[in-house]
Amino acid sequence: MSANSAKAAPIKATQTMEFSQESEAIEWKKQLLPILCLFIISAGVYANTLWHDYALDDQMVIYENKFVTAGVDSIGKIMTSDAFEGFFGERGSKLISGGRYRPLTFIVFALEWEFFGKNPFIGHLFNVLTYALLCILIYIFLVWLFHTKKEEENSTQNLFLSIAFLSSTIYALHPIHTEVVANIKGRDELFGFLFGLMAVVYFFQFFKHRWQDFLLLFLIYLLALLSKENAITFLAIFPLVAFVKNKSIFNANFLKPYVTFILAASAYLVLRAISTKASLTAHSEEILNNPFVRATASEKWGTIVFSFYQYLKLLIFPWTLSHDYYFNQIPYRKLSDPKVLAILFGLIVLTYWLIKNLKKRNEIIFSILFFLFTFSIVSNVLFTIGIIMNERFVFVSSLGFAILVAWLLLKLAKNKWVLSSALFILLSFYSYKTYTRNLDWKDNDTLFRADFYNSNNSAKVATAYGGSLMELSNSQLKKDSSLARFYIDSSIKVLEHSIKIYPENSQAWLLYGNAIYAKTRDAQKAIPIYKHCLTLRQNYFDALYNIGVLNFNMKQEDSAERYLRLALAVNVDHHEVRETLGKIYAKLGRTQEAMALTGGQSGNLAELAIEAINGSNYQEALAIAQKAIAQNPEDPKANFAIGICYSRYMNRLLDGIPFLEKAVLLNDKNGYWLEDLAVAYGMSGQVQKTIPLLEKVIALRPNDAAGYQNLATTYNLLGDAKKASYYLNLAKQKTKP
Q: How does pLDDT run across 563-596, given as a tens digit for each residue?
A: 999 999 988 888 889 889 888 988 888 888 888 8
Whether pLDDT at 560 is above 70: yes
Report pTM. Answer: 0.83
Residue closest to 457 by CA, chosen among 348, 327, 339: 327
Least confident stretch, 166-175, 301-310, 363-372, 469-478: 469-478
Residue closest to 267 by CA, chosen among 224, 305, 233, 204: 224
What percentage of residues in the chain have a pLDDT greater than 90? 58
Cα–Cα distance, 169 to 158 (Å, whole number)? 14
Asked if residues 278 and 82 have their Cβ atoms less than 8 Å apart, the reply is yes
State how far the alpha carbon of 251 is from the alpha carbons of 217, 239, 255, 670, 721, in Å. 18, 12, 6, 83, 111
Query: Which band of pLDDT confidence, cut at 50, 70 and 90, is reported for residue 224?
Result: very high
Phi-psi region of 539 (alpha: psi -120 to 50; beta: other; left: phi over 0): left
Cα–Cα distance, 732 to 329 (Å, whole number)? 60
State how far the alpha carbon of 217 is from the alpha carbons of 23, 104, 239, 329, 591, in Å. 18, 17, 15, 42, 64
Query: Which band of pLDDT confidence, cut at 50, 70 and 90, is reported for residue 280?
Result: low
State how far the alpha carbon of 398 is from the alpha carbons of 144, 177, 374, 403, in Å. 19, 9, 9, 9
Angle at 617 (CA atoms; ends 613, 621), nearest 5 degrees: 60
Whether pLDDT at 18 is above 50: no
Angle at 419 (CA atoms; ends 413, 424), nearest 5 degrees: 145
Whether pLDDT at 94 is above 90: no
Q: Residue 16: its pLDDT value, please?
A: 36
Asked if residues 466 and 206 have their Cβ atoms less than 8 Å apart, the reply is no
Whole-angstrom Cα Rg for the chain: 34
- Within 10 angstroms of residue 532's Cβ, the number of other Cβ atoms is 15
Is the bond preceding residue 328 a cis peptide, omega within 30 degrees?
A: yes
User: Residue 318, Cα to own-chain centre: how many angstroms?
Assistant: 23
Q: Residue 293: its pLDDT value, please?
A: 87
Asked if residues 176 and 394 have their Cβ atoms less than 8 Å apart, the reply is yes
Q: What is the 3-state secondary structure (H, E, C) of 642-702?
A: HHHHHHHHCCCHHHHHHHHHHHHHHCCCCHHHHHHHHHHHHHCCCHHHHHHHHHHHHHHCC
Cα–Cα distance, 567 to 47 (Å, whole number)? 45
Cα–Cα distance, 395 to 392 (Å, whole number)? 5
Query: Which band of pLDDT confidence, cut at 50, 70 and 90, is reported for residue 733?
Result: confident
Per-residue model confidence as pLDDT tens digits over 428-460: 999 999 999 999 999 999 999 999 999 999 999
Q: How far apart are the first and last CA of the chain?
A: 79
- Within 10 angstroms of residue 311's Cβ, the number of other Cβ atoms is 22
State how far the alpha carbon of 719 is from the alpha carbons of 644, 688, 692, 708, in Å. 28, 12, 17, 16
Residues with Cβ within 8 Å of 505's Cβ and at least 6 positions away in sequence, in order, are 288, 459, 463, 498, 499, 536
Mean pLDDT within 315-322: 94
Cα–Cα distance, 93 to 75 (Å, whole number)? 17
Cα–Cα distance, 427 to 635 (Å, whole number)? 65
Query: Which band of pLDDT confidence, cut at 50, 70 and 90, is reported for residue 5?
Result: very low
Kindly report the length of the chain: 737
Say which DSSP state 278 is in: -
Most confident of 2-11, 247-256, 299-308: 299-308
Whether pLDDT at 159 is above 80: no
Residue closest to 186 by CA, chosen among 76, 54, 98: 54
Cα–Cα distance, 459 to 508 (Å, whole number)? 8
